[in-house]
Amino acid sequence: MAWEAAVAVAAAISRNGSARALLIALTCAAAPVAAQEAPWTLSSDSLLYTDTDNVLVVSSELSAERALDEDGSKASASVVVDVVSAASVDVVSQASQSFSEVRWEANLAGSYAIGDVVPSLNYRGSVEPDYVAHGFGAGAEARLGGADTVASAHYQITFDTVGRSGTPFDTYSRALTVHSAELGLTQNLSTRSVLRGVLSLTIERGYQEKPYRFVPLFDATGLARAQADGAELRLGTFDRYRLASRPPEEVPEQRVRPALGLRWLYYLEPIASSVRADYRFYFDDWGILANTLELEVQHPLSELWTVAVVSRGYTQTKASFYRATYVVEQPDEVPGLRTVDRKLAPYDSLSGGARIELHTGAITAYFEATASYSVFHQYIYLDDLIALIGQGGIAWSF
């Protein structure tokens, strides 16, 4: 807010250079005072997700933030609650009942400006009946040689404990440690264009399976029977042709996951709108390669209202050990690595939506509606998926 006001003052003086400029400057100079007088921001955000695979998720977040100065020092706390209700193919294919689950998450963060550098610390804790996680992070953001270049770095380590619903953690638990490092650089390219690059590396070590996932195995006899019956191996038929043994999912202990993200923002003067293009290139040592492209056009209708249209395309290849069906030579043979996780299958997804925002002096609010369509190419339980996502929030500064 203070930065916007300072820029407006400088712009007004450079344009007018007169008593009118002084009047504009004095008016705008009041804005930083207002910002200092409203250091608190309380916000509430919610997301509703539902899809054709019988999954319903409601996520809500309540947060409070206190600005400590105009240079980026602040402290914040938030609580997130997810309520998940699912009878998806992931559940049905395991002959399990549908389930409902609640996850709680708490976040604490603080930053303190020292000159042009703003170091920060954060904690994130997450609890659900079969999963507990504690994450600790540290980072810094700095202006390099002026306001046109901002560099950032962040590291987070998360200690996860994976359990099984209905079983005490003392009886069954597995550990997973996640290291996430991120380097970012934001550069003003011109008076109407900004480019950001973010390089991230996530390393996961430990238990990465789901304890509820069991993998169906097939042999030549079973496949021949399916062929004779004219049956395709799908959710409703695979059980008839699989072998009796159904071993638990098994994936590698370690996963190294680099990604490069680029964000380009450009202001289109003729239509008074901003265009945002995000691109992400991701690959990992499990063999997945993914490309993500996101486009957004944001148009202020007035001082109060802004509208935006958003679209996103995502495509990924499969993990090297992923198979639509695992076929073995001998009935007692078990493939070393095996999974039925559709996040490790090849698939494409396309989504689009619109958002409306309201900005008054003290209140900001938004609502966004998105629909997405995903196609799974080698997943016997599901061919495609349509999802609807509604998201809204309100923030009050005082």
Partner 1 sequence: MVVLAPLLALSVGCATTQPWERETLAKRCMATDGNKHAQSLRYHYLSTREGAVGGLGGGGGGCGCN
Footprint (CB under 8 A) of partner 1, residues 115-144 = 124, 126, 128, 130-131, 133-135, 144
CB of 267 to partner 1, least distance (A): 5
Q: Segment contacting partner 1 (CB under 8 A): 29-37, 230-238, 241-249, 265-273?
A: 265-273
Shortest reach from residue 146's CB to partner 1, in Å: 5
Burial class of 204 by CB neighbour count within 10 A (0 to 12, 13 to 18, 19+): buried
What residues pair up with 387 in beta bridges, in sequence order? 51, 372
Alpha-carbon distance of 117 to 202, in angstroms, equals 25
Could you give the string, one character per residue 179-198, with x where binding to partner 1 holds by CB under 8 A and - elsewhere? -x-xx-xxxxxxxx-x-xxx
Span from 22-30, 79-87, 227-235, 327-335 in contact with partner 1 (CB under 8 A): 79-87
User: What sign results for the dihedral spanned by CA atoms 209, 213, 214, 215?
Assistant: negative
Determine, following the binding rule CB under 8 A, whether residue 158 of this chain makes contact with partner 1.
Answer: yes
In angstroms, give the least distance from the CB of 133 to partner 1. Answer: 4
User: Per-residue string for binding with partner 1, 93-112, x by CB under 8 A?
Assistant: --------x-x-x-------
Q: How far is CA 110 from the centre of its chain?
A: 21
User: Looking at 29-37, 220-228, 272-280, 323-331, which segment touches partner 1 (CB under 8 A)?
Assistant: 272-280
Print the binding letters for residues 1-40 with partner 1: x by CB under 8 A, - otherwise: --xx-xxx-xx-xx--------------------------
Residues 6+ apart with CB under 8 A from 284: 255, 256, 257, 258
Please tell me whether residue 156 binds partner 1 under the rule CB under 8 A.
Answer: yes
Distance from C-alpha of 228 to C-alpha of 241, rounded to nearest angstrom = 11
Amino acid letter at 217?
L
Q: Which of residues 326-365 bind partner 1 (CB under 8 A)?
A: 341, 343-344, 349, 359, 364
Q: Which of residues 204-233 bind partner 1 (CB under 8 A)?
A: 204, 210
Residue from the set 31, 215, 288, 340 that interacts with partner 1 by CB under 8 A: 288
Question: In whole angstroms, how close is the CB of 228 to partner 1 at the nearest point?
Answer: 35
Query: Nearest Cα to 379, choosing from 325, 329, 337?
Result: 325
The answer to whether residue 253 forms part of the interface with partner 1 (CB under 8 A) is: no
Residues 361-380 as x/- pattern, contact with partner 1 by CB under 8 A: ---x-x-x-----x------
Taking the complex as a whole, the smallest distance from the CB of residue 196 to partner 1 amounts, in Å, to 6
Minimum CB–partner distance for residue 127 and partner 1 (Å): 10
By CB under 8 A, tell whether 251 contacts partner 1.
Answer: no
Q: How many residues does the chain have?
A: 398
The smaller minimum CB distance to partner 1, of residues 215 and 243, is found at: 215
